[in-house]
Amino acid sequence: MREFEMVPSRGDPGIITLKKVEMEDPNFESETVHVAHVTFTNPKAVAFSYEAELYLGKVLGDKKATSGVGAFSIPAGGSLPVDFTVSMPRLLVVQDSYHVYLAVAHAGITLVTYVSTEDVLVFVTPAVEIGIITWD
C-alpha cells in the first residue's frame, strides 16, 4: 500500500488537495472494474448531505471513467467511508495514465474538487487466440 502527500494545485482556488491518500495499486487492466474507498469527515456541528463523484481524466472535467454521482449524509463531527466503483477506460493503445479527481458538492453546488498527484496507470495485457490448424 502506498501512502503519499498531496501538493497544492497550481494556484486554482477551485481545486484543493487531500492531505493523504492511500492506494494499494494504481495500475489496472483496461476495462476492469475497481472500487476506490474514501473516508469523508464533516467537521461542522451540523449534519450535512453531500454528493460526490470520483473520475479519471487528463484534465479537470475530462471524464474518461466515472463512478457517477453518489449521495450520502454525514452527522455533525462524524466520518463516513464511501466506495466509488469505476470501470477502467477501454484503451486503444498499450497503456495510458489518468489523474484521479474527486468532486464533492452540497445541494448541487460544488464545494471542492480534489485532484491526486499520483496517476492511475491503465494498461492492456497482450493476448492471442488461435483457431483450428488446417492442412492442405
Assess whether pLDDT exceeds 60 at residue 99.
yes
CB 119 within 8 A of CB 100: yes
Q: Which residues touch 98 (CB under 8 Å, ≥6 apart)?
A: 56, 57, 58, 64, 65, 89, 119, 120, 122
| Stretch 93-113: mean pLDDT | 92
* Interior angle at CA 78, CA 109 and CA 81, nearest 5: 75
Write down all domains in the chain, each with its CATH number in brackets. Answer: 2-123 (2.60.40.10)
Assess whether pLDDT exceeds 70 at residue 20.
no
Mean pLDDT of the chain: 85
Assess whether pLDDT exceeds 90 at residue 7.
no
Q: Which residues touch 127 (CB under 8 Å, ≥6 apart)?
A: none
Q: What is the pLDDT of residues 105-125, one digit of tens each?
A: 999 988 888 888 788 999 999
Tell me which residue of 121, 112, 105, 122 sits closest to 9, measured CA to CA. Answer: 112
C-alpha cell at 47: 449534519
Whole-structure pTM value: 0.79
Structure confidence at residue 66 as a pLDDT band (50, 70, 90): very high
